[in-house]
Structure 1
């Protein structure tokens, strides 16, 4: 590795972490001013618990969210400083081509991208669990967790379907239960009950006032009873689909959950898919935004750092705007979530190629 690479990488990482350390305390200060009254409403809530269960996950989550913004701003700042000091002119005068000058920037953004990918897919879910649990216990006036699920249709396998008129997740019981088994398109077996309860200790469902019916061309039969203990390959938690649960799962678990839910006939899982795909698109944006920042800031301008910073911040907020809009559109049942969450990176990737080509010339 050349001295030039070490020099740029040192500036790249130190300025990035410095910018991040400025943004996060500002965010914490704003959050404390908003949440102080809610914290003080709970006499049993200590400062240590607030820091460990709320603000450490807060720093981790928001630090990851602010990563592209901090990276973009820091790259513009120190590259503009190099340009204003004619360091970049000296580098090119030494016969170093623009693509070689860009190499340490790409290397630095790749390292940050890999760290962010690992955190997003395998680590941040534990932080989200702690954060959500604290919010649910102390901060939300209206509880986020649903306890009552109406009109549930669940496809267990290709040939097995269950239906509930409603299910109470707190009491683990439901009403208006029906289980149907098919052989291709032919209905073979129906089990209905007025009430069904889940026994967590024994992993058994108890159906009250049940009716069994075997369907055949000539030998239909019916069995009626008061109580029936049986098993099914689903749990009560599988009946609930809420957005914040996606953030509490590591990516392999989330991917398995999406596939299993699709096999069970759950229709719109796009919010879960947006969460899964966004865990990749956000880290990848660090590479794209780094190229844009270097291409904007590597030329010495009459307005100095201020002009580069203004142009860069405008592009950054435009990226954030597109990212939020496409996430909302991707969660819609009518759109492809994979395409939607990648649109900002595709558009800004084109901008990065254009600015790089122009800067190289």
Structure 2
């Protein structure tokens, strides 16, 4: 009777990784980097071909275009990160399978779960990188990317960037409401300003101004053609001044309804912004919550997509690498489809943003478990 042994490859270096582990990890990271370097220039070329006429017509300075494509690179890579990661794993794992390297590894007594270790380590490295980028770097690039598009390329220009920039109405706390007819982002001036204060559903005071300008040096506002009406029990009190400087509890962003504001905020600022908008009863709160939850869900997808990709491509198929890539592309675009559809549903309805953002990970997480069990057999 032969005694069954559980063979293990000898440990080598950091985290007990073997030479084969380091080989797979190196291929994992290198192929992912190569996939980015291959597809990002293609994305830039396509974007340039679509926008070159508007760039020439608007006489956009070359420095502005260069800055735009710096932000475009980061924004584009972050948006399509799941597809790039998935296809890169499918690609190099299929090559390992076609060269019978995976069969040799598993034949040595290494379990399929142990074989996954370098993949999981690679997914951890990329997840941490994507998480940090999503917290601090991507928001700045999102701001630069969207500002360029709305300023120079969109049909409505800066008017489109501001969304519905006429008749902006905001509740800034439980008792106060502000209104401006429009806001100029360059001069930081709002027109036809109104501030109303209520107590027990009754108007207490109303401030109006033909213009109100933000003063960044001391965080004050200068109002022109200022008028304040204080409602009294018998007579109202009217106060008028040609120009008046004052401090208010609302922020400049309350006058600037930028359609992509949540995407441009770092994690801490986004959390504070959402907390403030919740207190004010903002109708766009679901949009902001979707952005927040995606900062955490996208890095987690690296693990799920890694397991699916390895499970699909570790077996030699009759169609070879082409069949694996076909299956991989279908799954990757299915993930992106679910992500976009449920995100849009949450933004446009009362559907839970948390469930909408995490549903693709939950669905494909179950798929990953199923495929992993099948691959082990």
**Helix, strand or coil for the counterpart of 2:228?**
strand
For residues 225-240 of structure 1, the aligned pairs below 5 Å read 225-227=239-241, 230-240=246-256
Shift of 1:133: 3.1
Check if 1:261 corresponds to 2:277: yes
For residues 41-120 of structure 1, the aligned pairs below 5 Å read 41-43=57-59, 45-46=61-62, 48-51=63-66, 53-120=67-134
The corresponding residue for 2:4 is none
Shift of 1:104: 0.4
Specify every segment of 5 or more residues in structure 2 that has no aligned partner in the other structure, as ranges: 1-16
User: For the Cα contact (< 8 Å) 1:210–1:224, is it kept in 2?
Assistant: yes
* Larger displacement relative to structure 2 (228-237 or 243-252): 228-237
The corresponding residue for 2:13 is none
Q: Structure 2 vs 1, CA of residues 270 and 128 (structure 1 numbering), >3 Å: closer, same or farther?
A: same
RMSD (Å) for aligned C-alpha atoms: 2.3
Shift of 1:333: 3.6
Specify every segment of 5 or more residues in structure 1 that has no aligned partner in the other structure, as ranges: none
For residues 149-228 of structure 1, the aligned pairs below 5 Å read 149-150=166-167, 152-156=169-173, 158=174, 160-164=175-179, 166-170=180-184, 171-180=189-198, 182=199, 185=200, 190-195=204-209, 197-201=211-215, 203-204=220-221, 206=223, 208-213=226-231, 222-227=236-241
The corresponding residue for 2:360 is 344
Please give the alpha-carbon distance, in whole angstroms, between the structure 2 residues aligned to 1:243 and 1:155: 18
Please give the alpha-carbon distance, in whole angstroms, between the structure 2 residues aligned to 1:243 and 1:44: 23
**Helix, strand or coil for the counterpart of 1:210?**
strand
Please give the alpha-carbon distance, in whole angstroms, between the structure 2 residues aligned to 1:186 and 1:248: 35
Please give the alpha-carbon distance, in whole angstroms, between the structure 1 residues aligned to 2:84 and 2:214: 47
For residues 196-345 of structure 1, the aligned pairs below 5 Å read 197-201=211-215, 203-204=220-221, 206=223, 208-213=226-231, 222-227=236-241, 230-345=246-361
User: For the Cα contact (< 8 Å) 2:195–2:206, is it kept in 1?
Assistant: yes
For residues 4-19 of structure 1, the aligned pairs below 5 Å read 4-19=20-35
Aligned residues: 348
Please give the alpha-carbon distance, in whole angstroms, between the structure 2 residues aligned to 1:241 and 1:137: 15
User: For the Cα contact (< 8 Å) 2:287–2:347, is it kept in 1?
Assistant: yes
TM-score of the pair, normalised by structure 2 = 0.85
